[in-house]
């Protein structure tokens, strides 16, 4: 009875650990240790197999989380690769093919909604371990030697880069317009977009536009 009670607590601990910090189990050594602990726990409840089912589901969820984050990281790495000179690309295009943002989307509400979708996608990929990474870097300044290597997830960096990209997009769209009247119209459009972002509750995009 004591073993079953203890096993239930260990299962709860492992379940919360794998869900909150799945990157702790991405290397083979950690995964091997997890499987060994799981094997010992299942021996405490061999009669009905309930523990085995719970651990099997936990392991499956962990592998799915690691796979999803790995795919997201691969996509991000493709975007991180350097591109050719953007100025040269713009010069090779004719003026008629260089569309401004108003020709793509002239409704401030629609653009604000699309920016919010992007914000939510970036935020959904920020996990507690990303915040722990910052704390670990701060601790390393104090020469703490009892920590393992910190996993670089780059999700906070991606969110920060998105903020900068949006700011640069707004500045570029305004500055590339030659006529003052059209430039004024572009400024007013982005003011309306920022207002709609505020109404939605997307304060990050609003600040990037400002």
Instruction: Give pLDDT, residue 98.
Output: 66
Task: Let me know if 177 is exposed, middle or buried by CB neighbors in 10 A (0-12, 13-18, 19+).
Answer: middle
**CATH 1.10.840.10 in the chain, residues?**
101-137+151-209
| pTM, entire model | 0.61
Q: Which CATH architecture has domain 101-137+151-209?
A: Orthogonal Bundle (1.10)
22-81 pLDDT per residue, tens: 888 888 888 889 888 888 888 776 666 777 888 888 888 888 888 877 777 777 666 666
pLDDT of residue 113: 95
Low-confidence ranges of the chain (pLDDT < 50): 145-151
At 85 the pLDDT is 56
């Amino acid at each position: 009875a004591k073993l079953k009670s203890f096993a239930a607590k260990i299962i709860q601990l492992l379940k919360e650990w794998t869900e909150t910090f799945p990157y702790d189990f991405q290397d083979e050594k950690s995964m091997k240790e997890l499987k060994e602990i799981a094997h010992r726990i299942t021996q405490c409840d061999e009669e009905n197999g309930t523990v085995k089912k719970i651990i099997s589901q936990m392991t499956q969820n962990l592998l799915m989380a690691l796979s999803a984050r790995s795919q997201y990281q691969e996509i991000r790495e493709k975007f991180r690769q350097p591109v050719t000179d953007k100025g040269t690309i713009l010069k090779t295009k004719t003026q008629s093919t260089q569309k401004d943002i108003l020709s793509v989307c002239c409704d401030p509400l629609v653009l604000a909604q699309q920016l919010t979708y992007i914000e939510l996608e970036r935020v959904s990929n920020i996990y507690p371990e990303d915040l722990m990474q910052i704390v670990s870097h701060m601790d390393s300044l104090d020469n703490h030697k009892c920590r393992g290597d910190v996993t670089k997830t780059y999700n906070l960096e991606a969110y920060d880069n998105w903020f900068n990209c949006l700011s640069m997009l707004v500045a570029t769209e305004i500055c590339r317009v030659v006529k003052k009247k059209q430039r004024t119209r572009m400024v007013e459009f982005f003011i309306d977009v920022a207002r709609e972002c505020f109404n939605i509750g997307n304060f990050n995009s609003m600040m990037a536009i400002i």
